[in-house]
């Protein structure tokens, strides 16, 4: 049956958020899933993005988030994150609750995470270690697939895109099954030549980018079986391959470096609903291989085995509790690691969410992690939410959170031969956060305004410096104090067949070095953290047509600790536009789209001396079929 369904090209989970809206009653989920982890993040800021139906990277999916900055080494090239003014290793990236940051380097290259294989990204802003463990100092990014719904029928999606500089992207998805089984398959391929022209002031004439071509492909397969109304098993596997020529600096001639990344993700879940609560037990295997080629090759690979258990229990109408734990075992292979490098880490946690009354919510989350016979800092968080005012059409909420977060030193920090330092302490952060949210609704119009302030103090940050033997070695040294403001405004109004939407977000981030290698960097902004960052999205829809404008303002970024203005990257204001039309025929939704990115053809950089493409175009078509039967 899998085959037969597979031959109908596609499926679709991704479309679920779109299609599910009209089918909410039919698709009502079995009560076998626990409540979302973010339900316990009372007082924290969370956001969910549903973007699984185009072939794009996680970096591209998150581009609209003004509190996130990506150091892109070019178009579709290495992208590391700075979330709320933190470093690239201070954001947890999770899949099924498992931290999938590379255990060697402690960070994720967001350009090799294929969003097409996931349905949504859940973003938790700020210190989240109490909920998700290590690395969640700036925030956490969780890759999600929708909960399986056992019903007869299928969903399918076919997506095809072509664009400038040799961009070709194809993807198909299929999801189908019956009341016992569910199968889900996603497949994508992507390539781009990336031979875009650029006009960098550092070069002085227009050059065409060399050595920046990228090719990706990947697949995700999921099989779910419902044992009974209270039990199910789910097996999922992902393989993603990314091959790229590493885009060199703008002044370079004759670059020939390439990087080949292979990712394998396997998980088996068992879900059980009982009087003790809703339990999910997971065993998973994660493998990454990275081969760097610059005439000579170097290969680094890591294996990770994980076992997790999570139990959610509603104790009363007012109280939810959650508890669980995880065990992770890591291996790393490469010339610079001991041949027998194996490390185990364990986490135990519990959470409580308490609705004191109809307007006051409280949550407490606690976590303790252990690694390599050491304790990571005990990470508690305490959050609260208070409805200050509520009518049928108006709601004003205040929230606050205090939390501790940590980052366990990476395998490189501790085992890199011969300078790895086993005595390194975990990076340690405290954060307080507060925010208000105002929602107003009238017959045709909705407005949502949110303001947040946070303060993060991080100590024991690990930096690599030359030691007395002139070899680079890691030490606990840096201290950083971050103060940030975030504001979001969304508004939409609907009249007849027409709809107008606006989304404005602005982030102010002061990420200040308080202790470092010497005095010249004290009191200075961390490199690659823009102080001002804003996004504006405007869209207008009418009878199936939508036109959308997206703007991105990113202020000047320093690239060195002492904030040399001479080298700083210029601020930029980017404009993208797209036009799309949706056609509905019975169970089929066809979307065709034309997009212009960077239409003012601005030269800009997100990482020093690495060109980003100027004006570029793309066109795409998506066909979604939703054939859900009773």
DSSP code at position 3:
H
Of all helices (H) and strands (E), which one includes residue 130?
helix 129-132
Q: Does 473 bind other proteins (CB under 8 A)?
A: no
Three-state SS at 88: coil
Among positions 504-523, residues that touch other proteins (CB under 8 A) are 516-518, 520-521
The β-bridge partners of 216 are: 190, 242
Q: What share of the chain is helix, strand, coil (3-state, %, to 5)?
A: 5, 60, 35
* Nearer to other proteins among residue 30 and residue 571 (C-beta): 571
Q: How far is CA 522 from CA 395, 465, 472, 562, in A?
A: 43, 17, 22, 8
Residues 29-44, buried b or exposed e (16+ Cβ, 10 A)?
eeebebeebbbbbbbb
Q: Tokens representing 482?
A: 């971050």
State the CB neighbour count (10 A cutoff) for residue 469: 9
User: Using CA atoms, how far apart are residues 64 and 360, in angstroms rounded to an integer?
Assistant: 31
297: CB partners within 8 A, 6+ apart? 291
**Residues in the chain, total:** 630
Task: Tell me which residue of 554, 444, 541, 445 sits closest to 507, measured CA to CA.
Answer: 554
* Nearer to other proteins among residue 340 and residue 565 (C-beta): 565
Q: Does 248 bind other proteins (CB under 8 A)?
A: yes
Q: Before 147, cis peptide (omega within 30)? A: no
Beta carbon of residue 92, minimum distance to other proteins (angstroms, whole number):
24
Q: Does 540 bind other proteins (CB under 8 A)?
A: no
Q: Does 201 bind other proteins (CB under 8 A)?
A: yes
Beta carbon of residue 526, minimum distance to other proteins (angstroms, whole number):
10
Q: Does 368 bind other proteins (CB under 8 A)?
A: no
Q: Does 254 bind other proteins (CB under 8 A)?
A: yes
Q: Does 203 bind other proteins (CB under 8 A)?
A: yes
Q: Does 252 bind other proteins (CB under 8 A)?
A: yes
End-to-end C-alpha distance for the chain, whole angstroms: 19
* Nearer to other proteins among residue 82 and residue 310 (C-beta): 82
* Nearer to other proteins among residue 192 and residue 526 (C-beta): 526
Which residue is it, tokens 């099924």? 96
* Nearer to other proteins among residue 275 and residue 295 (C-beta): 295
Q: Contact letters (x/-) for other proteins, 65-104, by CB under 8 A?
A: --------x-------------------------------
Judged by CB under 8 A, the stretch of 91-99, 232-240, 290-298, 379-387 that binds other proteins is 290-298
Which residue is it, tokens 């170097």? 298
* Nearer to other proteins among residue 587 and residue 609 (C-beta): 609
Judged by CB under 8 A, the stretch of 3-11, 102-110, 126-134, 294-302 that binds other proteins is 294-302
* Nearer to other proteins among residue 249 and residue 303 (C-beta): 249
- Residues within the interface to other proteins (CB under 8 A): 73, 200-204, 248-255, 294-296, 418, 463-471, 516-518, 520-521, 527, 559-562, 564-567, 607-610
């Amino acid at each position: 049956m899998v085959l037969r369904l597979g031959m109908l090209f596609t499926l679709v989970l991704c479309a679920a958020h779109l299609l599910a809206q009209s089918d909410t009653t039919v698709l009502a989920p079995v009560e076998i899933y626990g409540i979302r982890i973010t339900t316990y993040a009372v007082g924290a800021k969370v956001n969910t993005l549903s973007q699984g139906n185009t072939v794009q990277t996680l970096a591209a999916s998150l581009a609209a988030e003004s509190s996130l900055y990506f150091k892109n080494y070019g178009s579709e090239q290495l992208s590391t994150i700075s979330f709320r003014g933190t470093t690239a290793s201070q954001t947890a990236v999770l899949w099924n609750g498992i931290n999938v940051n590379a255990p060697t380097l402690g960070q994720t290259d967001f350009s090799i995470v294929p969003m097409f294989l996931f349905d949504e990204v859940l973003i938790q802003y700020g210190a989240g270690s109490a909920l998700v463990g290590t690395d969640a100092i700036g925030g956490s990014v969780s890759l999600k697939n929708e909960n399986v719904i056992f019903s007869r029928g299928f969903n399918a999606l076919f997506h095809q895109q072509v664009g400038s500089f040799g961009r070709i992207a194809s993807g198909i998805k299929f999801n189908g099954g019956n009341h016992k089984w569910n199968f889900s398959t996603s497949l994508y391929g992507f390539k781009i030549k990336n031979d875009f022209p650029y006009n960098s002031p550092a070069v002085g004439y227009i050059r065409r980018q060399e050595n920046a071509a990228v090719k990706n492909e990947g697949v995700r397969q999921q099989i779910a079986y419902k044992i009974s109304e209270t039990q199910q098993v789910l097996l999922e596997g992902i393989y993603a391959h990314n091959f790229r020529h590493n885009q060199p600096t703008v002044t370079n001639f004759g670059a020939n470096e390439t990087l080949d990344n292979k990712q394998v993700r396997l998980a088996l879940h068992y879900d059980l609903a009982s009087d003790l609560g809703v339990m999910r037990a997971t065993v998973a295997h994660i493998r990454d291989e990275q081969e760097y080629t610059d005439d000579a090759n170097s290969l680094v690979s890591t294996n990770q085995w994980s076992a997790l258990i999570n139990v959610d229990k509603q104790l009363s109408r007012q109280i939810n509790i959650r508890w669980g734990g995880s065990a992770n075992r890591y291996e790393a292979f490469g010339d610079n690691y001991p041949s027998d490098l194996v490390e185990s880490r364990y986490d135990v946690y519990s959470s409580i969410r308490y609705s004191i009354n109809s307007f006051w919510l409280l949550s407490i989350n606690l976590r303790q992690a252990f690694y390599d016979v050491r304790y990571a800092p005990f990470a508690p968080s305490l959050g609260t939410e208070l409805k200050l005012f509520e009518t049928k059409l108006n709601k004003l909420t205040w929230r606050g959170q205090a939390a501790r977060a940590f980052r366990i030193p990476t395998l490189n920090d501790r085992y890199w031969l011969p300078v790895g330092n086993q005595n390194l302490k975990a990076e340690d952060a405290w954060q307080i956060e507060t925010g208000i949210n105002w929602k107003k609704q009238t017959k045709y119009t909705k407005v949502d305004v949110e303001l947040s302030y946070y303060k993060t103090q991080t100590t024991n940050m690990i930096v690599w410096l030359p030691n007395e033997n002139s070899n680079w070695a890691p030490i606990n040294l840096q201290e950083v104090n971050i103060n940030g403001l975030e504001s979001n405004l969304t508004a939409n109004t609907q009249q007849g067949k027409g709809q107008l939407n606006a989304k404005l977000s602005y982030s102010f981030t002061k990420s200040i070095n308080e202790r470092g290698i010497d005095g010249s960097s004290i009191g200075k902004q961390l490199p690659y953290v823009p102080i001002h960052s804003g996004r504006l999205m405007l869209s207008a829809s009418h009878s199936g047509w939508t036109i959308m404008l997206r703007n991105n303002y990113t202020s000047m970024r320093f690239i060195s600790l002492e904030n040399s203005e001479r080298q700083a990257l210029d601020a930029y204001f980017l404009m993208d536009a797209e036009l799309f039309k949706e056609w509905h025929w019975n169970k089929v939704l066809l979307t065709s789209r034309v997009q212009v990115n960077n239409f003012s053809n601005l030269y800009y950089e997100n990482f020093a001396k690495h060109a980003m493409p100027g004006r570029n175009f793309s066109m795409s078509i998506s066909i979604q079929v939703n054939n859900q039967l009773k």
